[in-house]
Amino acid sequence: MQFRDLKSQYRALKEEMDAAIEVVLDSSDYIAGDQIDELERDLADYIGVRNCVSCGNGTDALVLALKAWGVGSGDAVFAPDHTFFSSAESAAFVGATPVFADVSEDTFTIDPESLTRVIEAVALEGKLKPRAIVVVDLFGLPADYERIREIADRYGLYILEDCAQGFGGVYHGKQAGSFGDISTTSFFPAKPLGCYGDGGAVFTDNDEWAALIRSMRVHGKGSSKYDNVRIGMNSRLDTIQAAVLQVKLKAFQEYELEDVNKVAARYTEVLRDCVKVPLVPEGYYSSWASYNILLKDEAQRDAVRVYLQENGVPTMIYYPKGLHQQKVFEEVCRYGESLAVTTDICKRTLAIPVSPYLSGEDQDRIIRLIREKTGADA
Ligand X SMILES: *Cc1c(COP(=O)(O)O)cnc(C)c1O
Interface ranges with ligand X (CB under 6 A):
57-59, 83-84, 86-87, 136, 162, 164-165, 186, 188, 198, 200
**Residue partners of 73: CB distance under 8 A and separation at least 6:** 95, 96
164 vs 271, which CB is nearer to ligand X? 164
Q: Whole-number minimum distance, CB 36 to ligand X, in Å?
A: 17
Strands 284-285 and 75-80: unpaired
Which DSSP letter does residue 79 get?
A: E
Q: Whole-number minimum distance, CB 151 to ligand X, in Å?
A: 20
Alpha carbons 95 and 77: distance in angstroms, whole number: 10
**C-alpha 349: how far from chain center:** 18
**Residue partners of 77: CB distance under 8 A and separation at least 6:** 66, 71, 88, 91, 96, 97, 98, 99, 131, 132, 133, 134, 160
188 vs 369, which CB is nearer to ligand X? 188
Which residue's beta carbon is nearest to the bound ligand X?
A: 58
Alpha carbons 111 and 78: distance in angstroms, whole number: 12
192 vs 373, which CB is nearer to ligand X? 192
Radius of gyration of the chain (CA): 21
Q: Whole-number minimum distance, CB 63 to ligand X, in Å?
A: 10
Alpha carbons 329 and 313: distance in angstroms, whole number: 33
51 vs 86, which CB is nearer to ligand X? 86
Alpha carbons 365 and 360: distance in angstroms, whole number: 9
Please check whether residue 329 is in contact with residue 98, taking contact to mean a CB–CB distance below 8 angstroms.
Answer: yes
83 vs 374, which CB is nearer to ligand X? 83
87 vs 286, which CB is nearer to ligand X? 87
57 vs 261, which CB is nearer to ligand X? 57
> 13: helix, coil or strand?
helix
Alpha carbons 64 and 48: distance in angstroms, whole number: 20
Q: Whole-number minimum distance, CB 133 to ligand X, in Å?
A: 14
Q: Whole-number minimum distance, CB 185 to ligand X, in Å?
A: 8
Q: Whole-number minimum distance, CB 9 to ligand X, in Å?
A: 18
Q: Whole-number minimum distance, CB 25 to ligand X, in Å?
A: 24
Alpha carbons 243 and 227: distance in angstroms, whole number: 29
